[in-house]
């Protein structure tokens, strides 16, 4: 428009921009420009005041740099300070005069629309309407602005709205630098619609990409956005309106002749009429599909209807939808979350995703920073379906219920002829061929340790592309060890014996979860040993007050080098390093190779060691293990005595005795294969970081951890070529930050639908939180809602409430009285260790960390699978999240 195109141009016509120019015109304008280029899509004419103009005004705004410095030092929860500073910045920008040449350019641009024209003046920030951040509602829009003077005034207001309190908080929460965010302003001809509203090209609730929803009301769309009216809601699938809900629309927002808007009453005869006909709804969705195809992702579209003609006034990506794994075909697919099975539902970086895919026993697909398996074939055959649902139900009833809900619809999962596949799992499965012999477990552990030792030896001299070739072979050995028939039989033997005992003893004796006590202090459980071993570390440190005092001051990972300077410090360092030699490969989120290990960040263990020093007496680990053994022996004796009193009692007792021996032989081994995996992962990681360090020294990478944003194959290519795509790494960082905000579903379809399960129980008290009973007993205590192990602040008798636990959380288990998690099943790690330690536990409690407040008194019913929030407990004692 004025002058040559480029960053310094203050104004540009909307028809001259597209999505590649976000830095110049902001997200909203870039999308509007892109929309105007789509065949058949009408966009109101207008222009954009570019970010160059904003930078000019910001540079002339007094004291803004100082205030931005202050703002950058605040956290998103510092609401009072944010409110004060952001208000000062807005006032400064609004009172800064627009330079004469810019004001003249805007006035000239308005002249072509005529003296009587009205405009919509709309903010267009550079950080909004991106694939990873929509910024919906974060900045301001002004409608029916009449006259050049009013337009100029509202342009200044739009610039200032970059610093509304909600926009500042949003940037802080999303890690966006205030100085990098800039504001352009869109000025468009005002549209005076008969109806307006929002089109979602995917169902915003279920995520189904084949379902579109249309919200519609009379007059301007502000009535709908502001909540002034309940809109009509239409659902469209396959080109047909499948549901409609027509609301009584008593009010509407209308434009005033002299500028501005007001809400007005709707004619009573029109109030219950639909704002759109079905034919108009279908036509609108057809336009929406065209827009979605152009932008390559589901869209949230604002539309206006004028004389039966739709005009589009905004389109932004729907950033809350969970991405769909790429199947490579058009068929229906059912995806199951790997993270819910592995107790790690956090987002993973690309290297972590690809490494798990390369070493996993089953094919996996990545989406939203998480991994999924395709269960469609297992569900398609009635024979394999029955067995699969039984297995799923034992581990995660919510997943099973979601799958059954999907199958019962009859319109998504195909049904294939039975092919003789496996049916309902029983104890007559693959594990029955394995003898109940502790020597088998010993042999398996020795094989695994020998394989890891060989890996360490052979990888030591590998560098460059040869390292990656070696690793690809090592991954095959990794899978061979894990997939050995004897290994799988040993894992299943412990699990199936647990199920057998729980099922039969409930049937014969009315006992719920009898195996929970029978498996206490089972031998050979590497994860429970890890927790008890940290009690032994505390025993060695407790007698040295200087060491204990020093550990209270530790803030970084260099503390081990400082310990020998203290009385008793050499001994303390030796015992901690011995612990790390044995367990240092563990860490939070350990299936993700990019997450830190304890050996890399030993300070993580310091708070837990100090809690053990404070809360326990010497010898606690040995006493605890022996107490568990004694309880298990007493329980076995009691159960067998009661069985012998039943009809056919001796036969029942003999069979149960054999299963008790079997479960105590094999159930501890259930934890070892994961230990073997993460042991190998640390070796892989150290070798890969060595390559990353060499790339940094060669100037190829800026930071070693840049490689975390590459897949294994991409990393291999960078090592080979010594070239890296810095923009790709930046995009991957942004995508990872976006993925972290997403909640992964248990069950996801190829249509994008999130299918949720429910507990269908009526045997719990009203208001109780239902979950899966995984460790028997009932306990009252203070809830400690902890989302980060490093922030744990526990007292004796506390009940840990968290989203999920993996083996790295085990050291906390020795100091708590009970456990509640949002994710988990009967045989997942937290459940296994809770039983080992005799902690009442309920897992898979939906939204537990939101519904239970830190400091509340709760009662955990570990045998019956529910949690009660006790009357009179405080809403919260102290926020410790």
Mind telling me the catalytic residues?
829
Q: How far apart are the first and last CA of the chain?
A: 52
Assign 3-class secondary structure to 636-662.
Answer: HHHHHHHHHCCCCHHHHHHHHHHHHHH
3-state secondary structure of 668: helix
Alpha-carbon distance 110 to 107, whole Å?
A: 5
Round the CA-based radius of gyration of the chain to a whole number and report it: 31
Alpha-carbon distance 695 to 719, whole Å?
A: 7
**122, 144, 145: which is closest to 135 by C-alpha?**
122
- Helix ranges (DSSP H) in 556-648: 559-562, 569-583, 606-615, 620-644
Residues making up the chain, counted from first to last:
881
Alpha-carbon distance 333 to 372, whole Å?
A: 11
Question: Which element (helix H / strand E) includes 334?
Answer: strand 334-337
Q: Is 303 left (phi over 0), alpha (psi -120 to 50) or beta?
A: beta
The answer to whether 312 and 301 are in contact (CB under 8 A) is yes
Q: Can you read off the two tokens belonging to residue 594?
A: 């990019």
264, β-bridge pairs: 252
Phi/psi of residue 540, each to 5°? -75, -30
**352, 433, 345: which is closest to 828 by C-alpha?**
345
Alpha-carbon distance 482 to 361, whole Å?
A: 8
How many CB atoms lie under 10 A from the CB of residue 779?
18
Q: What is the DSSP string of 436-502?
A: --HHHHHHHHHHHHHHHHHHHHHHTT--HHHHHHHHHHHHHHHHHHHH-HHHHHHHHHHHHHHHHHH
How distant, in Å, are the alpha carbons of 124, 299, 522 from that of 838? 57, 50, 11
Print burial letters for 389-425: b (CB count within 10 Å at least 16), e (below 16): bbbbbbbbbbbbbbbbebbeeeebbeebeeeebbeeb
**235, 209, 213, 409: which is closest to 325 by C-alpha?**
209
DSSP 8-state secondary structure symbol assigned to residue 596: P
For 427, residues 6+ apart whose C-beta sits below 8 A from its C-beta are 496, 497, 499, 500
Paired sense of beta strands 841-843 and 818-821, if any: parallel
Alpha-carbon distance 508 to 54, whole Å?
A: 78
The answer to whether 801 and 820 are in contact (CB under 8 A) is yes
Q: Can you read off the two tokens belonging to residue 89?
A: 């910045």
- The single residue listed with the structure tokens 């407040």 is 853
Alpha-carbon distance 592 to 587, whole Å?
A: 10
For 237, residues 6+ apart whose C-beta sits below 8 A from its C-beta are 210, 211, 212
The answer to whether 387 and 422 are in contact (CB under 8 A) is yes
How many CB atoms lie under 10 A from the CB of residue 307?
6
How many CB atoms lie under 10 A from the CB of residue 158?
26
Paired sense of beta strands 334-337 and 365-367, if any: unpaired
The answer to whether 509 and 823 are in contact (CB under 8 A) is no
Alpha-carbon distance 144 to 127, whole Å?
A: 26
């Amino acid at each position: 428009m004025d002058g040559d195109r480029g960053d310094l141009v203050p104004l540009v016509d909307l028809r001259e921009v597209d999505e590649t120019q976000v830095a110049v015109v902001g997200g909203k304008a870039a999308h509007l420009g892109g929309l105007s280029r789509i065949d058949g899509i009408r966009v109101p004419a207008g222009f954009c005041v570019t970010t160059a103009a904003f930078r000019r005004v910001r540079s002339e705004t007094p004291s803004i740099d100082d205030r931005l410095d202050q703002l950058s030092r605040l956290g998103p929860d510092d609401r009072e300070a944010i409110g004060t500073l952001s208000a000062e910045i807005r006032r400064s920008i609004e009172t800064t005069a627009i330079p004469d040449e810019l004001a003249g350019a805007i006035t000239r641009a308005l002249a072509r629309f005529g003296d009587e024209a009205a405009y919509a003046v709309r903010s267009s920030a550079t950080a909004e309407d991106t694939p990873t951040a929509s910024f919906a509602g974060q900045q301001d829009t002004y409608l029916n602005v009449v006259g050049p003077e009013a337009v100029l005034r509202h342009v200044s207001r739009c610039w200032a709205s970059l610093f509304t309190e909600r926009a500042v908080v949003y940037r802080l929460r999303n890690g966006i630098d205030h100085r990098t965010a800039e504001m352009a302003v869109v000025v468009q001809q005002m549209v005076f619609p008969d109806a307006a509203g929002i089109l979602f090209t995917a169902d915003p609730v279920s995520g189904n990409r084949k379902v579109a929803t249309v919200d519609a009301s009379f007059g301007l769309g502000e009535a709908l956005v502001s909540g002034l009216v309940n809109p009509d809601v239409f659902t469209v699938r396959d080109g047909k309106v499948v549901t409609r809900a027509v609301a009584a629309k008593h009010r509407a927002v209308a434009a005033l002749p002299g500028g501005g808007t007001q809400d007005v009453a709707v004619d009573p005869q029109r109030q219950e009429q639909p704002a759109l006909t079905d034919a108009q709804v279908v036509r609108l969705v057809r336009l929406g599909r065209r827009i979605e195809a152009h932008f390559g992702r589901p869209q949230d579209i604002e539309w206006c209807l004028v004389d039966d003609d739709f005009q589009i006034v905004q389109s932004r990506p729907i950033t809350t939808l969970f991405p769909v794994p790429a199947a490579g075909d058009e068929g229906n697919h059912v995806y199951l979350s790997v993270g819910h099975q592995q107790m790690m539902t956090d987002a993973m970086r690309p290297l972590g995703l690809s490494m798990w895919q390369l070493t996993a026993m089953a094919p996996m697909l990545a989406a939203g920073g998480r991994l999924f398996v395709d269960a469609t074939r297992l569900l398609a055959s009635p024979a394999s379906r029955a067995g699969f649902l039984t297995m799923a139900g034992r581990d995660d009833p919510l997943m099973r219920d979601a799958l059954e809900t999907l199958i019962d619809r009859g319109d998504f999962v195909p049904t294939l002829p039975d092919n003789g596949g496996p049916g309902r799992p029983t104890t007559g499965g693959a594990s029955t061929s394995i003898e109940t012999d502790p020597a088998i477990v010993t042999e398996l552990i020795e094989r695994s340790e020998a394989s890891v030792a060989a890996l360490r030896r052979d990888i030591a001299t590998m560098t460059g592309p040869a390292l990656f070739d070696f690793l690809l072979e090592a991954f095959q050995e990794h899978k061979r060890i894990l997939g050995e028939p004897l290994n799988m039989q040993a894992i299943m033997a412990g699990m199936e014996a647990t199920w057998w005992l729980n099922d039969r003893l409930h049937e014969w004796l009315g006992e719920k979860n009898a195996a929970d006590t029978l498996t206490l202090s089972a031998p050979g459980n590497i994860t429970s040993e890890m927790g008890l071993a940290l009690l032994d570390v505390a025993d060695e440190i407790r007698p040295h007050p200087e060491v204990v005092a020093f550990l209270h001051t530790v803030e970084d990972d260099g503390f081990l080098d400082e310990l020998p300077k203290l009385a008793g410090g050499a001994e303390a360092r030796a015992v901690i390093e011995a612990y790390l030699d044995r367990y240092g490969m563990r860490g939070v989120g350990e299936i993700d190779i990019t997450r830190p290990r304890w050996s890399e960040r030993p300070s993580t263990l310091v708070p837990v060691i100090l809690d053990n020093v404070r809360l326990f007496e010497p010898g606690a680990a040995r006493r605890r293990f022996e107490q568990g053994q004694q309880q298990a022996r007493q329980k076995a004796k009691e159960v067998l005595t009661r069985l012998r009193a039943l009809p056919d009692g001796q036969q029942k007792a003999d069979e149960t005795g054999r299963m008790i021996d079997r479960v105590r032989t094999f159930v501890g081994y259930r934890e070892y294969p994961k230990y073997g995996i993460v042991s190998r992962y640390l070796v892989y990681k150290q070798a890969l970081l060595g390559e990353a360090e060499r790339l940094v020294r060669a100037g190829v990478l800026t930071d070693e951890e840049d490689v975390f944003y590459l897949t294994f194959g991409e990393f291999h290519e960078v090592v080979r070529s010594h070239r890296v795509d810095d923009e790709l790494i930046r995009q991957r960082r942004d995508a990872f930050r976006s993925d972290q905000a997403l909640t992964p579903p248990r069950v996801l379809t190829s249509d994008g639908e999130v299918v949720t399960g429910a507990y269908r129980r009526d045997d719990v008290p009203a208001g109780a939180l239902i979950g899966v009973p995984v460790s028997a007993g009932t306990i009252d205590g203070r809830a400690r809602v902890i989302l980060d192990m490093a922030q744990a602040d526990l007292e004796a008798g506390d009940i840990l409430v968290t989203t999920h636990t993996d083996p790295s959380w085990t050291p906390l288990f020795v100091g708590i009285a009970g456990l509640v998690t949002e994710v988990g099943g009967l045989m997942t790690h937290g459940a296994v260790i809770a039983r080992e330690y005799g902690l009442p536990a309920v897992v898979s409690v939906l939204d537990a960390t939101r519904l239970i407040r830190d400091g509340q008194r709760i009662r955990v019913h570990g045998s019956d699978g529910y949690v009660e929030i006790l009357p009179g407990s405080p809403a919260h004692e102290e926020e410790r999240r």
